[in-house]
Amino acid sequence: MSKKIVIVGGVAGGASAAARARRLSEDAQIIVFERDSFISFANCGLPYHIGGEIKERSALLVQTPESMKARFNLDIRIQTEVISIDAAAKSVTVRELNGGQEYTESYDEMILSPGAVPIVPPIDGVDSHSVFTLRNIPDMDRIIRKINIESPRSAVVVGGGYIGIEMAEALIQRGIETTMVELANQIMPPIDPEMAVPLHQEMRRHGVRLQLSDAVDGIVETGDGLELTMRSGKTIATDMVILAIGVRPENTLAKMAGLALGEKGGIQVNSAMQTSIEHIWAVGDAIEVKDFVTGMAAQIPLAGPANRQGRIAADNIFGHPSRYKDSLGTGICKVFELSAASTGASEKLLQAQGTRFEKIYVHGADHANYYPGATQINLKLLFDPQDGKILGAQAIGAKGVDKRIDVLATAIRGGMTVFDLEEFELCYAPPFGSAKDVINQAGFVASNVCRGEHEICHAVNVPDCASDGVLIDVRNPTEIGVLGTIDEAMNIPVNNLRDNLHRLPKDKTLIVFCAVGLRGYVAYKMLTNLGYKVRNLTGGYTTYQMVKRIGM
């Protein structure tokens, strides 16, 4: 007997579920309800069309109702909203948005994929016609219309996450003076504050004004545009506002149907994507998942997981056992000429969960330094100091960031350790990598820490370390003249250490550092072999500067 499947939501998870269901059964009746005019569109590409990198609007339309009908024989009903679910009767009530006609539709199985909705703060003036959110193609069209017709000179982006960063770049590329307001002391929330410092510098370098640790308390329309009242007491005059504070699960239908919700407001599902009510499944941004590293509840609105979840729900409906194995939250964002990527747990998450961890930093080239065009990758690795299990990683750089984080995401998923990173055999040729890749370097450093062969000091602890020990900068004086050094540090270049041992006390801990940690490690091994108590500043002066500039 053929199944009748109703899918609520035709983007990402819903479209993936519909296509997979058809591949598994030619006889099933598959109905997709979508309240907007578009299905299966590339919502991650919306800012790039606004900014002009994606020239043709049609390129965002991965599939149309007509193409999905032709290829998969789906009954797709756009501009049709599901307004209620009768789980006992296994039926939904729907409303056609053009005309308002309502009717009911029965189902054997239903998949909820309503996605998420932008968070709009309850502040005065937020309903102004010059205040925008960006969730779908109509939202994008409204923003483009505003830019093309009214030629705004300035804009304020509220929120420093993925969409906020991408929108700030798009506006700058359109010649619009842009300010970004972020409540936290950093942009890009998935990464830790010190790793966001290069991103702040890059944003400012391209003209974005960053207003960190602040928020919008009110919006007033004036004859010249908008005036924003800030929590700090400042005011900002602007022509338009983009709200990119974040998203929340679209759980209205789920609540009405009595589905269990998680602590973060997402629909609760098991690993098969089943909800708390039989014959109702849920996927995508509307559901709550488990964090792969911590096991805690998480809200991870990313397209990759949504597509996999849609496939898994369809598999299980048609008797192909399939399980979703939690989320790592692996993501990447273009920040003008830099990339910022992360996977697994951040330091702030591990601290909040009380999880045991250690961290190291390496700053290596994306490919062999002697081959033209090499650029620096700043990599932070988080791991269990007892067994070396990898817990998370973050990387910032102009090139090669995605490759390294993808490798580390695979390692975390496979339960690998920092000791495995030492042995990874990665592609090497001068234009593409180094004989000792950044990944290998991180493995060497972290493994030595786990083995007790490398005592490290963290930049945040330098003031305490300096009070009880002696800071030694082992770089060359010319480097210090250009880049500066840590206050009270003694400069003895690594190549001159053996000739200056008489200057080094053996009754105090020596804190050695260089630019990125490598020469510091050479100095560390030399001095420990000579009987000194030594710690090496992980990531060197580069990491120290990043930590010192948190919130700037």
Tell me the catalytic residues. 44
And the tokens for 83? Answer: 């307004």
Q: Cβ(116)–Cβ(133) under 8 Å? A: no
Burial class of residue 427, CB neighbours in 10 A (0-12, 13-18, 19+): exposed
Question: Which residues are paired to 472 by β-bridges?
Answer: 490, 512
What type of residue sits at position 110?
A: M
CA dist 158 and 167 (Å) reads 10
CA dist 47 and 58 (Å) reads 14
CA dist 473 and 537 (Å) reads 10
CA dist 283 and 308 (Å) reads 9
Burial class of residue 271, CB neighbours in 10 A (0-12, 13-18, 19+): middle
Strand order in the sheet with 376-383: 331-335, 338-344, 390-397, 376-383, 358-365
Q: Tell me, rounded to whole angstroms, the distance of Cα 244 from its chain centroid.
A: 14
Strand 102-106 vs strand 91-96: parallel, antiparallel, or unpaired?
antiparallel
Name the nearest CA neighbour of 340 among 203, 513, 204, 205.
203
SS3 393: strand
Three-state secondary structure readout of 216-256? EEEEEEECCEEEEEECCCCEEEECEEEECCCEEECCHHHHH
Q: Cβ(486)–Cβ(527) under 8 Å? A: no
